[in-house]
């Protein structure tokens, strides 16, 4: 690390630098290095970088820096993001980074009951400097015509690809149509399919582009796969949890039903875990997430709701109990580990039917990923070698054991 670059090179306001120090950010990540000067210059920007590369601070830092000296900051910036979890995380990151600045923000997201609606409505009418919102909910407030963003200067689309996946295009376009045309617009996305480019060309003006190579997961995340028949998946999973040391692990399944089922089965096997999916009340989800973040809850079993943008460091193990149908989801899932400067491991359980999906993932990642039989040699019905192995139902091998790790 000879070309050590600090945040001080951007000429950020001292209060922003203090916020960074308080958050423990010492060095800008690559996307931050490239995006921050362009944003400070007032350019529109489209930035493409993997999940976990620090895109939030890449736009939050210059925003705070801009707003700090403004006399009238009222509703001057809008950040659109796909999920309530992300809205809350971004809001928290703004709170941390602006700790020494007079900047206020409010998160606006769906779900909850009438009380939450009233509370958000009131907050919006009172106003804040920044609004972090999911498009659907924000539009339902805007449609009532009760408040306006007529002084807005900054619009940020966070996780734009995910917002389109979730069907928010129409809400986004309706919201944008009501915003002042004179504004700086920034778009962040983990992937850059055509429809994202189209969206960009319709709402950005002469944007600068920043693109950080997709290969990131490969660097710090050890990726491997196991070939296992469906009926052996559970014992394999238990063995993996026993074999690989972890502090926090995520297990992904392809459907809510499978998540619920696996959650129960694991619990019966002594693995302390919670299920995480979109059927849960928001309060429950937040409570689970708090426990997980704090390290009280070592294992989360979830659908791809978990795979996008959940801001938890310290996840050191990701297990794909099912191969994700969309290769990009694979990248998002394993991007939950190896965050910031840490290393992580991902293991994908592949049944023979999923081999084609697995190939597509390898194509996206750009290389063949290694098969492993560790730690299970000799008792997994691994394909295609299963015939030649002792098929004693798994009891002859390592007995899965699970201990909650302290700390």
Q: What are phi and psi of 28, to 5 degrees?
A: -65, 140
**Alpha-carbon gap, residue 33 to 272, rounded angstroms:** 40
Select the residue interacting with ligand ADP from 15, 17, 28, 301 (CB under 6 A). 28
Select the residue interacting with ligand ADP from 13, 16, 29, 277 (CB under 6 A). 29
Residue 311 touches which of Mg ion, ligand ADP, none (CB < 5 to 8 A by kind)? ligand ADP
Residue 57 touches which of Mg ion, ligand ADP, none (CB < 5 to 8 A by kind)? ligand ADP
- 25 binds ligand ADP per the rule CB under 6 A: yes
**Alpha-carbon gap, residue 254 to 292, rounded angstroms:** 21
Beta carbon nearer to ligand ADP, 163 or 238:
163
Q: Candidates 170-178, 246-254, 282-290, 303-311 — which segment interacts with Mg ion by CB under 5 A?
A: 303-311
Q: Candidates 27-35, 139-147, 202-210, 241-249 — which segment interacts with ligand ADP by CB under 6 A?
A: 27-35
Residue 29 touches which of ligand ADP, Mg ion, none (CB < 5 to 8 A by kind)? ligand ADP
- 289 binds ligand ADP per the rule CB under 6 A: no
Burial of 26 (C-beta count, 10 Å sphere; 0-12/13-18/19+): exposed
- 107 binds ligand ADP per the rule CB under 6 A: no
Q: Which residue has the tokens 């020494």?
A: 100
Q: What are phi and psi of 406, to 5 degrees?
A: -75, 160
**Alpha-carbon gap, residue 245 to 407, rounded angstroms:** 13
**Alpha-carbon gap, residue 128 to 39, rounded angstroms:** 21
Residues 6+ apart with CB under 8 A from 102: 68
In the complex, the smallest distance separating the C-beta of residue 57 from ligand ADP, rounded to whole angstroms, is 5
Beta carbon nearer to ligand ADP, 51 or 348:
51
Select the residue interacting with ligand ADP from 129, 304, 311, 329 (CB under 6 A). 311
Query: Among 359, 34, 82, which residue's Cα sits nearest to residue 225?
Result: 359
Residue 143 touches which of ligand ADP, Mg ion, none (CB < 5 to 8 A by kind)? none
**Alpha-carbon gap, residue 282 to 285, rounded angstroms:** 5
Q: How big is the site for ligand ADP, counted in residues (CB under 6 A)? A: 18
Q: Strand (E) positions, 192-239?
A: 208-211, 221-227
Residue 339 DSSP one-character state: -
**Alpha-carbon gap, residue 385 to 369, rounded angstroms:** 18
For residue 130, give the H/E element and its range: strand 130-133
- 73 binds Mg ion per the rule CB under 5 A: no
Query: Which residues in 36-55 contact ligand ADP (CB under 6 A)?
Result: 49, 51-55
Query: Among 394, 402, 400, which residue's Cα sits nearest to residue 270?
Result: 402
Residue 376 touches which of Mg ion, ligand ADP, none (CB < 5 to 8 A by kind)? none
- 344 binds ligand ADP per the rule CB under 6 A: no
In the complex, the smallest distance separating the C-beta of residue 20 from ligand ADP, rounded to whole angstroms, is 8
- 338 binds ligand ADP per the rule CB under 6 A: no
Contact 266, 236 (CB under 8 A): no
Task: Kindly give the interhelix angle for 135-143 and 114-126, rounded to the nearest 10 degrees.
Answer: 70
For 311, 346, 354, 366, the CA distances from 217, given in Å and listed in that order, are 16, 10, 21, 11
Q: Write each residue from 341 to 380 as x if it is in contact with Mg ion (CB under 5 A), else as -, in one continuous string.
A: ----------------------------------------
| Interface residue list for ligand ADP (CB under 6 A) | 25, 27-29, 32, 49, 51-57, 309, 311, 313, 339-340
| Interface residue list for Mg ion (CB under 5 A) | 55, 309
């Amino acid at each position: 690390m000879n070309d050590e670059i600090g945040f001080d090179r951007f000429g950020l306001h001292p209060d922003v630098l203090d916020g960074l120090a308080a958050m423990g950010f010492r060095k800008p990540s690559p996307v931050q290095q490239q995006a921050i000067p362009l944003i400070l210059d007032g350019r529109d920007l489209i930035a493409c970088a993997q999940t976990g590369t620090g895109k939030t601070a890449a736009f939050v830092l210059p925003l705070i820096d801009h707003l700090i000296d403004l006399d009238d900051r009222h509703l001057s910036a809008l950040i659109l993001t796909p999920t309530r979890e992300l809205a809350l995380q971004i809001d928290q990151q703004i709170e941390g980074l602006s700790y020494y600045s007079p900047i206020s923000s409010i998160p606006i997201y769906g779900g909850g009951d009438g009380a939450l609606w009233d509370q958000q409505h009131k907050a919006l009418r009172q106003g804040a400097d920044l609004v972090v919102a999911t498009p659907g909910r924000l539009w339902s407030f805007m449609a009532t015509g009760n408040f306006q963003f007529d002084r807005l200067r900054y619009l940020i689309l966070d996780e734009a690809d995910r917002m389109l996946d979730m069907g928010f295009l129409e809400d986004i376009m309706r919201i944008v149509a009501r915003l002042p045309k004179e504004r700086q617009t920034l778009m962040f996305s983990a992937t850059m399919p055509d429809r994202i480019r189209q969206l960009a060309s319709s709402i950005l003006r002469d944007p600068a582009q920043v693109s950080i190579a997709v290969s990131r997961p490969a660097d710090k995340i050890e990726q491997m796969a196991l070939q296992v028949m469906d009926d052996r998946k559970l014992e394999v999973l238990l063995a993996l949890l026993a074999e690989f040391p972890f502090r926090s692990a995520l297990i992904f399944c392809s459907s809510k039903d499978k998540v619920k089922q696996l959650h129960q089965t694991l619990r019966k096997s002594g693995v302390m875990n919670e299920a995480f999916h979109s059927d849960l009340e928001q309060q429950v989800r937040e409570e689970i997430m708090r426990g997980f973040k704090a390290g009280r809850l070592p294992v989360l079993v979830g659908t791809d709701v978990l795979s996008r943008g959940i801001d938890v460091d310290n996840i050191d193990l990701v297990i794909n109990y099912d191969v994700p149908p969309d290769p990009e989801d694979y990248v998002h899932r394993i991007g939950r580990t190896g965050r910031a400067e840490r290393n992580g491991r991902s293991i994908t359980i592949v049944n023979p039917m999923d081999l084609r999906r697995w190939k597509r993932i390898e194509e996206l990642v750009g290389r063949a990923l290694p098969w492993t039989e560790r730690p299970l040699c000799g008792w997994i019905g691994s394909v295609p070698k299963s015939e030649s192995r002792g098929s004693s139902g798994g009891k002859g091998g390592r007995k899965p054991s699970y201990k909650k790790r302290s700390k």
